[in-house]
Structure 1
Amino acid sequence: LTPPLGWSLPALRRAWNAAKDEVAPWWRECSKEAYNTGLEALARGLKNWSDSRGGRRAGRAVGFPRFKSRRRSTPSVRFTTGAIRVERDRKHVVLPRLGRLKLHESARKLARRLDAATARIVSAMVRRDGGRWYVSFTCVVERVQRVPARPDATVGVDLGVRHLAVLSTGEVEPNPGYLHTATRRMRRLARRMSRRVGPDRRTGRRPSKRWETARGQLARAHARVVNLRRDGLHKLTSRLAREYGTIVVEDLNVAGMLANRRLARRIADTGFAELRRQLAYKTAWNGGRLVVADRWYPSSKTCSGCGTVKAKLALSERTYTCTPCGL
């Protein structure tokens, strides 16, 4: 019988140390953090699956961890020990085993905090996304308590598909629809990749160079859409958190909304959950408050003048008209 193997991180580390010379005699060529990152992810995935199966984890059911092949996963490694620093020119970083790496963007903001002793680097995560390599730092930061520009002001944010957000002040934030704009190009790139000779696990066939090139082009197109959407959400949430003392948003059932096959693509393109996540921590950073209204509260059916609640309000009715008060 196969001896039992513990699923905790220490147990997985012991098993790896006992088998690495046999299964991976080249293990000394890589940083120990590469293996530790994979073991941590495996231990976390096994624990989440076990807790979900045993009813100790709320939310959607978590499946058993699947094998992450080289082509079907995001390469990443977290460095927690060794030399991790930003160079004085602020254009290079030093990481264990990788040495001195040049940055595409300047690290001056992080360097200023490190020089002023208001931040300390705890770890560095290196990952590949959309054909590019990124490094992100986890830091302990001393934050100065901020106050919003209008601490007594309250604003309601109504999220939607046609308009990304409509504020209670009357301001309308348009929905750029980055995915909708890039759909034609992404479909063309997907067709191009499907015409190339790709991998076949049944026969062991390796992908062609042209397939790898087309796959990289499609991945970069997807990454561009993600980056554009994330940048727009960051700008909107930062502006709201810095200006208003209280921000009210609705507790949307995004999973249920995605069941609508006609609007699922547009809803996924807006990033409702990401916008709420950003507002949650940015309001705390800026000394504000985020209020999440109950999803069953009839805000759209309630008249702002007299408080009358309509029994029914069709989605096609874009302008609210109150019969009792005429608003």
Structure 2
Amino acid sequence: MTKQILKAHKVRLYPNEEQQIFFAKSFGCTRFIWNKMLNDKIEHYKKTKTELKNTPAQYKKEFDWLKEVDSLALANVQQNLRAAYNKFFKGSGFPKFKKKGQRDSYTTNNQKGTVAITDDTVKLPKIGHIKAKFPDSINGLIKSATISRTPSGKYHISLLVETVIDELPKTKSNIGIDLGLTDFIVLSDGTKVANPKFLAKLQAQLTREQKILAKRREVAKAANRKLSDSRNYQKQRIKVAKVYERITNCRKDFLHKLSFNLIKNHDVIAVEDLNVKGMVKNKKLAKAIADSSWSAFTTMLAYKADWYGKTLVKIDRWYPSSKTCSGCAHVLTKAELPLQVKTWNCPSCLQDNDRDINASINILNEGLKLATLKTVGTTGLA
């Protein structure tokens, strides 16, 4: 069975000097429009207690240089700001002002071939063809393109493509997943996948490079020199950025391969719905939890399950998976099973339980119950 989906392809770009200047202008204009529109909305609300309905077009009269960039890039800023306000009204944080050099990007849309690809280039509005390196083939209708620049100075484009994929064959196998820190995941079949801890492995190198960066910042400050004019500082800044990129790239590669392997080999995947935002408030565990990227992993499982015709079930975070015996359903108290205890014997049925494997079995059983309920589509399925 085939399915039509929207899939993003990230491609490395190699712009020439003129194209880099255009990208810099585009990043700057979209950042300016976001900040200007957000500031005017805030000031307008302070005075009138009503929301200002402003658009990028009205600013082009005052700031003529906005016409130099893609108008669709500015229009997308308006849509993104509106979406940010909608999230705020639903309980998320208030939209923040953007800073230069942090997540520089802009998005444009494909209108009758304005965004297109060849064997080694990507065509964009107002700039033409940019040299590109495609890791794999891209098939389908391009809907939009997001151009970005990393802190280390690399350029990428994310192409959102409407395409058709084949669902994966059913395996008649189901699995429960217990997320952890020592082991990244423990499966209900007894398999344990070690936590690669990419940040921890490169922490010494990152700390060393950051110390050098701090020293060069102090040297520039003592010489009363702007950081943007300090060559040594900028060279070191890029070194630090490259270490972060390596950590991010290794982690994404690990998560993509692991999530696809689970989706490929199982029909129903049950996983805990952890409160990661709350857990990272624990200062002792915050760095380790962030390095594990549980949220990114479960997000990958969710959309890949949807793509390939599999089922992902999220178990309520308060379900006592670790404290419940998978053999007889006897539930221990928190005092009877502290966190440091990794194995325990059930006082009811005397079953010997590995804490994490036992939890993953319970997660699977609970997930299968939810998956069979007629109302599960609105309560438990991701």
Please, what TM-score do these two structures have when normalized by structure 1?
0.82
Letter in 2 for 1:124: A
How far has the Cα of 1:7 moved from its partner? 4.1
1:121 corresponds in structure 2 to 142
Aligned twin of 1:246:
268
SS of the aligned residue for 1:196 comes to helix
Match of 1:99 among 128, 141, 147: 128
Over 3 Å counting, the alpha-carbon distance change for 1:103 and 1:64 in structure 2 is closer
Contact 2:227 2:233 in 1 (8 A): no
* 1:291 matched to 2:319: no
CA offset digits 1:130-181 (Å, max 9, x no partner): 4211111111112333333x1x322100000000000000011110000001
Verify: 1:322 aligned to 2:355, yes or no: no
The question of 1:230 aligning with 2:245 is answered no
Preserved contact between residue 147 and residue 288 of structure 1 (Cα < 8 Å): no
Question: Is 1:279 aligned to residue 301 of structure 2?
Answer: yes
AA partner of residue 164 (structure 1): F
Structure 2 counterpart SS, 1:101? strand
Matched, 1:305 2:327: yes
Partner residue, 1:183: 203
The residue that corresponds to 1:109 in the other structure is 137
For 1:308, the aligned partner's letter is H
Instruction: For residue 105 of structure 1, report the CA deviation from its aligned partner.
Output: 3.7
1:57 is the counterpart of 2:99: no
Does structure 2 conserve the Cα–Cα contact (< 8 Å) formed by 1:157 and 1:167? yes
- Is it true that 1:194 corresponds to 2:214 in the alignment? yes
Aligned counterpart, 1:12: 55
Aligned mates of 1:42, 1:19 — CA distance in 2: 21
Match of 1:263 among 262, 285, 288: 285
- Return the alpha-carbon distance in structure 2 between the equivalents of residues 196 and 324 of structure 1: 64
The offset of 1:34, in angstroms, is: 4.3
Name the CA shift for 1:320/1:103 in 2 (closer, same or farther; >3 Å). farther
Structure 2 unpaired stretches of 5+: 1-39, 46-50, 352-382
Distance 2:307 2:226 in 1: 52
What is the deviation of 1:4? 5.7
Structure 1 contact 126–133 (Cα < 8 Å) conserved:
yes
Q: Identity, % of aligned pairs?
A: 29
Task: Give distance in 1, aligned partners of 2:83 and 2:275.
Answer: 27
More contact order relative to length (CA 8 Å, sep ≥ 6): 2
Deviations 1:8-27 (A, max 9, x none): 4xx32232222122xx3xx4
Structure 2: distance between partners of 1:41 and 1:169: 43
Structure 1, unpaired ranges of 5+: 114-118
Distance 1:243 1:288 in 2: 10
SS in 1 for 2:271: strand
Q: Which amino acid aligns with 1:35?
A: L
Q: 1:31: how far off?
A: 3.1
Aligned to 2:107: 78
Distance 1:38 1:17 in 2: 14
Post-superposition Cα deviations, 1:280-320, rounded to whole Å, max 9, x if no partner, equal 11111121111111111111111122222112311111113
Counterpart for residue 116 of structure 1: none
RMSD: 2.5
Shift in alpha-carbon separation, 1:144–1:324, aligned structure 2, 3 A:
same
Check whether the contact 2:44–2:52 (CA below 8 A) recurs between aligned residues. no
State the secondary structure of the residue aligned to 2:240: helix
Structure with more helix by fraction: 2
